[in-house]
Amino acid sequence: MGLSGPKRHTDKTGDISEAAIIARLLQSGYVVLTPYGKNHRYDLAIEDADGQFWRIQCKTGWTDEKQTVITFATASSYNHTAKQKGWRNYKGQIEYFAIYVEQLGKVYFVPVDAVGNAKAMLRLAPTKNKQEKNVRWAKDYEL
């Protein structure tokens, strides 16, 4: 094991992200609810100041080597049978993604309708060609 600890399983990474997201939501003043059981299309629900409830899917985001962009999945894989595998997006089943990026220690809150059906990116630094159109800036979604 040593000082570096055991190798981290992907479930543990998800648990860390979910815990960091819950902590940040609580710090921001939201009431956080967790569904009982597994296999829900959302990980959390929050209640806002107006008493409205919003379904949240927690995701782990990662940066590229130069930390210019954050990438996160906007779909989940599923297996009906050994031969039937696929991806399902979250449109109509959640209102927001909450993305935790461990390298940055930050949480981002992104509406499901603001991203595509498989993967999404949040920009941390300007593009090489200085393009601004259709750029989703991470700072605009930071919680």
In this predicted structure, what is the pLDDT of residue 83? Answer: 63
C-alpha pair distances (Å), 74 with each of 31, 47, 97: 24, 22, 8
Are 110 and 97 contacting, i.e. CB atoms less than 8 angstroms apart? yes
pLDDT at 85: 66
Structure confidence by residue, pLDDT tens digits, 40-99: 889 999 998 899 999 999 999 999 888 899 999 888 866 555 665 667 788 888 999 999
For the entire predicted model, the pTM comes to: 0.82
The C-alpha angle 83, 10, 90, rounded to 5 degrees, equals 60
Q: Are 90 and 96 in contact (CB under 8 A)?
A: no
DSSP 43-105: SEEEE-TTS-EEEEEEEE-EE-TTS-EEEEESEEEEESSSS-EEEEE-TTT-SEEEEEETTTT
For 116, the token pair is 């595509």
Interatomic CA distance for residues 92 and 84, integer angstroms: 23
